[in-house]
Chains A and B, each alone.
Chain A
Amino acid sequence: MTGPGFSYSDPLLEIRWLKSLRSHNTLSFENAPLYWQLGFAFESKLHKIAHMLDEMSIVAGSQYTLDDRWDQGFIVRRGSATLGIEFLGMKFCGAIPVEWTTRAFSNSTSEKALLDTFLATVTFREAVPQAQSAAWCLRQNDNVRKGQMHGLRRAVQTMQLTDLHTHLTGMGSKVFWVETVMEKVLPGLLRESAASPCRTRPNETDPLVARLNDFLRSDDPTVEFANLEKIVMEH
């Protein structure tokens, strides 16, 4: 994705930029491990990037554009130079983030020297957390205990929590699970799999045996037997 020019000084532009990111579906499930390594929620990360861009624009005196590898840390581009941002840590007051530290680096020699001088490490102080980041911070702790309940009360009082937060697999009524899934969807999937052609060999007329052979000869290394081999050995 080639992002638009960005100026943190314009809040409306920031909102439009956030919406454009969402509409382009820039967060994909395939990159989930990267987000896991970064350890930051989406909204919170964008907020940090906004601050970092603001600081860098002051130093470098120019606008930057988003790189299509922004979700890997290479988020800002100016000309042929690519700047990376690395999140180093956060400090909390209760459950509310009050400070985070980031570091910028570049692949450009001249720019690197400039940035290393001024932006080797940047610390931002969070005044008011955004809604999702506050909710995330509340959830990211293992034990939401007495001291952290203050942050929860504060977030609730200022309406900073999400509309709903539920466990996905706990959802669904008996109509969905029994009448839809068990009685319609699963039998339909079974009929589809029965109708699908099996990769049979000429001398293997039994489709199940042929399917076993396909699995045994498969090049897919991820397909394994959990307890079948043990049972075969016992017999």
Chain B
Amino acid sequence: MAERNLTAAHKLFADRLTDDVVYSKEALLTGLFGYDPTSCVTECRTPIHADNALWMLEQAISNPHVAPTFGHALRPYVVFNRETRKFEYIVGIANADLVAWMSTPTNSQEATIQAKAVRAAICNCFEMLSNDGCDAVQADLLDFRGSFSPQFYPMRYAVKDPILQQKPVVYSLLLNQVAATYSQNGVSYAEFSVSLNTVMTQSFRRHVTEQCVWPDEVPFSLRQHFRYQLGAASNTVFLPVFLERRQSTQT
């Protein structure tokens, strides 16, 4: 029995393992709708079947004038969660597939429209923008006002979590990006709230240090070095950053 399970684990692992970032279906639904429709049970919302959830996902990401394309992309994967240091079996879309849909092809107008729609929807998972992915206009701001939850949280955080859990090096890129922006605008000292669970993970401490190894694809503008220090209080962890730009070793 144990040997059979081991063989099954071999097959399952070999078929599904990927080093790419995989966005789970739940994370995408939360990022696009603000809640997971398959698990939400309230008075006004009845639980939605998984097939309907997939349809909602396609409707949200795809242009209604083109055929749904995400059915074959939602597949099971085995990914390594570096935050919990566990392998996880999730159903979702790999980052490579999502990027391929967002890239604008030139041979088909329909495909171009679809790519723009996908890009607009995904951009809205990270920043509060208008429906077409451009900067929010006055009407959007009026819509956002007073309803930051769940439009702000968890919508604008849900898709970031898989990235940060599976590739924690992005923490370092994010901190450098924000610190560079602050420094260029005259801020000399800033503090960032980080959850205690995140700070205590080994992956976070390993990557949010000055010894970070930058991938080749990271733009040089993001390879700034700043001084980080950690402050801890009884129930809050914050990350003071002294924005003293150093001379980088690369030119």
Contact = CB atoms under 8 A, between A and B. Distances in A.
A43 B164 CA distance: 30
Contacts of B190: 162-166
Interface in B208-226: 208-210, 215-219, 222
Given A41-B232, A139-B236, A140-B233, A29 B208 contact: yes
B49 interface: no
Given A165-B193, A228-B9, A206 B14 contact: yes
B75 interface: no
Interface residues of B, number: 84
B236 A140 contact: yes
A41 B173 contact: no
A219 interface: no
Contacts of A125: none
A43 B233 CA distance: 12
Contacts of B231: 35, 41-43, 132, 136
B230 A29 contact: yes
A88 B7 CA distance: 56
Given A136-B233, A228-B78, A232-B5, A168 B215 contact: no
Contacts of B199: 29, 32
Contacts of A135: 191
**Residue from the set B173, B216, B232 with the largest chain A CB neighbour count within 10 Å:** B232
Contacts, number: 226
A36 B232 contact: yes
A127 interface: no
A186 B21 contact: yes
Nearest to A136: B233
B230 A35 contact: yes
Contact of B233 (A41, A166, A182, A183): A41
A125 B241 CA distance: 29
Contacts of A25: 210, 227, 229
B86 A226 contact: yes
A186 B95 contact: yes
A10 interface: no
Interface residues of A, number: 71
A35 B19 contact: no
Main secondary structure of the interface of A (DSSP, over half): helix
Interface in A214-235: 215-216, 222-229, 231-233, 235
B230 A212 contact: no
**Residue from the set A185, A225, A233 with the largest chain B CB neighbour count within 10 Å:** A185
Interface of A: 22, 25, 27, 29-30, 32-33, 35-36, 38-43, 132, 135-136, 139-140, 142, 162-174, 176-178, 180-190, 192-194, 206, 208-209, 211-213, 215-216, 222-229, 231-233, 235
Interface of B: 5-6, 8-10, 12-14, 17, 19-21, 78, 81, 84-89, 95-96, 98-99, 102-103, 119, 122-123, 126-127, 129, 133, 156-157, 160, 163-164, 167, 169-171, 173-175, 177-178, 182, 187-194, 196, 198-200, 204-205, 208-210, 215-219, 222, 227, 229-236, 238-240, 242
Given A182-B122, A183-B99, 4 more contacts: A29-B204, A184-B217, A208-B14, A229-B5
27 contacts: A25-B210, A29-B230, A35-B231, A35-B232, A39-B234, A42-B240, A162-B189, A163-B189, A168-B174, A170-B157, A171-B177, A171-B178, A172-B174, A174-B127, A174-B133, A176-B173, A177-B127, A183-B99, A187-B217, A192-B215, A212-B13, A216-B9, A228-B13, A228-B87, A229-B9, A232-B5, A233-B5
